Amino acid sequence: MHTSALVLFSGGQDSTTCLAQALHKYERVETVAFDYGQRHIVELEARLNVLRELKAHFPQWAHKLGDDHLLDLAVLGQVSETSLTRDVAFKMETSGLPNTFVPGRNLLFLTLAAALAYRRDLQVLVTGVCETDFSGYPDCRDDTIKAMQLALSLGMDKRFLIDTPLMWIDKASTWALARALGGQPLVELIVEHTHTCYLGDRVHRHAWGYGCGTCPACELRSRGFQRYAARLPEPMSKP
């Protein structure tokens, strides 16, 4: 029986939905993020705002939400030259991967998260990785995650479960999952406080939240929200 979890929580739509599901499922939940010189401090601010709002408006979850951890991973800047860590425009590489790709980044995240979970005596690692995402990061694939689950469990002699609630669902379904977990208040929290835009735009407000509206992350979030909204039942008409 799994009762405790560590959520890899970046402050975006996906990891916020994963955090809500973990708070729904488990009795004790902690959060972790990695600071590796992201161009936009807004991501780190967004996650603190989301945690504050969850604690303030979801009393059924607030008492389960424990420590938040921020691990310094500046070393990633020494092995990558990408648009997340340097001032380079976002683009797709000829490999078909976006130039934000840091090889093996998610493997490092999971390894450090497992070490932290070991020390904090947390049983489950929760991550919002997704195979249906546009980007096709090889270290977010289901096979990679299953291999990591085995390697971490063997290497730390502790049985870890890696929970990936978004692995097989699209962005519209991620919005629907948030609604199922926390109703319209959670959807509104995600719209208002999570951050996805690669350009760090917190000026332009859309129905789906803040962002430039044109970078790949904004396009994905916007398209998903539109498909989600189109599937919502019409409000009941008065008799």
Number of shown-chain residues binding Zn ion (CB under 5 A) = 6
Single out the residue of 200, 197, 194 nearest to residue 182, CA to CA. Answer: 194
71 or 212, CB closer to Zn ion? 212
What is the Cα–Cα distance from 179 to 187, expressed in whole angstroms? 6
With binding defined as CB under 5 A, does residue 191 bind Zn ion? no
DSSP string, the chain: ---EEEEE--SSHHHHHHHHHHHHH-SEEEEEEEES--S-THHHHHHHHHHHHHHHH-HHHHTTEEEEEEEE-GGGGGS---TTTSS----B-TTSSBTT--TTHHHHHHHHHHHHHHHHT--EEE----TTSSS--GGGSHHHHHHHHHHHHHHTTS--EEE-TTTT--HHHHHHHHHHHHHHHHHHHHHHH----TT---S-EETTEES-S-SHHHHHHHHHHHHHHHHSPPPPPP-
Stretch that binds Zn ion, among 62-70, 111-119, 199-207, 226-234 (CB under 5 A): 199-207
Give the nearest distance from C-beta 214 to Zn ion in angstroms: 6
83 or 149, CB closer to Zn ion? 83
Give the nearest distance from C-beta 8 to Zn ion in angstroms: 22
Stretch that binds Zn ion, among 102-110, 111-119, 171-179, 191-199 (CB under 5 A): 191-199
Among 4, 18, 215, 221, binds Zn ion (CB under 5 A): 215
Q: Which phi and psi (to 5°) does residue 233 adopt?
A: -65, 150
Name which of residues 47 to 76 contact Zn ion (CB under 5 A).
none
Give the nearest distance from C-beta 191 to Zn ion in angstroms: 15
Please state, as a whole number, how many other Cβ atoms lie within 10 Å of the Cβ of residue 74.
11
92 or 116, CB closer to Zn ion? 92
Among 145, 182, 197, 221, binds Zn ion (CB under 5 A): 197
Among 128, 165, 209, 211, binds Zn ion (CB under 5 A): 211
165 or 211, CB closer to Zn ion? 211
- Window 142-181: contact mask with Zn ion (x via CB under 5 A): ----------------------------------------
Stretch that binds Zn ion, among 51-59, 107-115, 173-181, 205-213 (CB under 5 A): 205-213
Among 26, 218, 221, 225, binds Zn ion (CB under 5 A): 218
- Interface residues toward Zn ion, by CB under 5 A: 197, 199, 211-212, 215, 218
